[in-house]
Amino acid sequence: MQDAYYSPWAVQTAVDLANTLRPIKGEDALETVEQLRDFLDDHPAAEPPSPAANQGAGPRHLTRADLAEVRALRETVRAVLERANADAVEAAALINDGLRRSRATPVLRHEDDRWWTEVTSDTDRCSAHLAATTLSALASVIATLGPARLGVCAGPTCRATFVDLSRNGSKQYCTRTCAHRASVAAYRSRRSPR
């Protein structure tokens, strides 16, 4: 079977999940069940796709167990994003272990004359579906573009993670804001050498 191409939304979900923790600032945007609900609302594709079970069921009921599981997954996703460039074998082991434990399963979908594949979990655990979605997306990026596309922002006070889907693959900073801040700092240090 051919490797599925990465889905940009799934890649972004992985990066956004990792970046709910800001290690240098010590900020954590995933400390409560409400914050998990907000994260899933902002990333609807991260929800289990079981329309028959969920239709009309209203908002999904999330518990502290879901929160703990998603926080554990976040550690794995962040470790993959941080280490893939330096140690792709270890990152691959983390991905494979996470996919196995989430019982990740590829499925073929069809809507409006369009066919596509995605990887989901055959359990109804929110964390397992999120693991299948995010880890398979990172696996696809590594398989198609290489492990060096996963990285950590070079901004000295940032450490946010990113995935570089650009054509030339030369991304060093998580955002333009960080790149701009770094170039201003470099300019200032050239002007006033100490």
Residues in contact with Zn ion by CB under 5 A are 153, 155, 158, 160, 174, 178
Write down the least CB distance from residue 167 to Zn ion, Å: 21
59-94 burial code (b ≥16 CB/10 A, e <16): eeeeeeebbebbbebbebbbbbbbbbeeebeebbeb
* Type of residue numbered 109: R
Helix (H, G, I), strand (E, B) or coil at 139: helix
Full 3-state SS string of 172-192:
CCCCHHHHHHHHHHHHHHHHC
**Residue closer to Zn ion (CB basis): 4 or 150:** 150
Write down the least CB distance from residue 172 to Zn ion, Å: 9
**Residue closer to Zn ion (CB basis): 67 or 153:** 153
**Residue closer to Zn ion (CB basis): 83 or 125:** 83
Write down the least CB distance from residue 177 to Zn ion, Å: 7
Write down the least CB distance from residue 154 to Zn ion, Å: 8
**Residue closer to Zn ion (CB basis): 13 or 19:** 19
Query: Do the Cβ atoms of 51 and 120 come closer than 8 Å?
Result: no
Beta bridge partners of 162: 151
Write down the least CB distance from residue 183 to Zn ion, Å: 13
Write down the least CB distance from residue 157 to Zn ion, Å: 8
Q: Going by DSSP bridges, is the β-strand pair 161-163/150-152 parallel, antiparallel, or unpaired?
A: antiparallel
Query: Do the Cβ atoms of 98 and 73 come closer than 8 Å?
Result: yes
- The H or E element spanning position 82 is helix 64-83
**Residue closer to Zn ion (CB basis): 84 or 99:** 84
**Residue closer to Zn ion (CB basis): 105 or 172:** 172
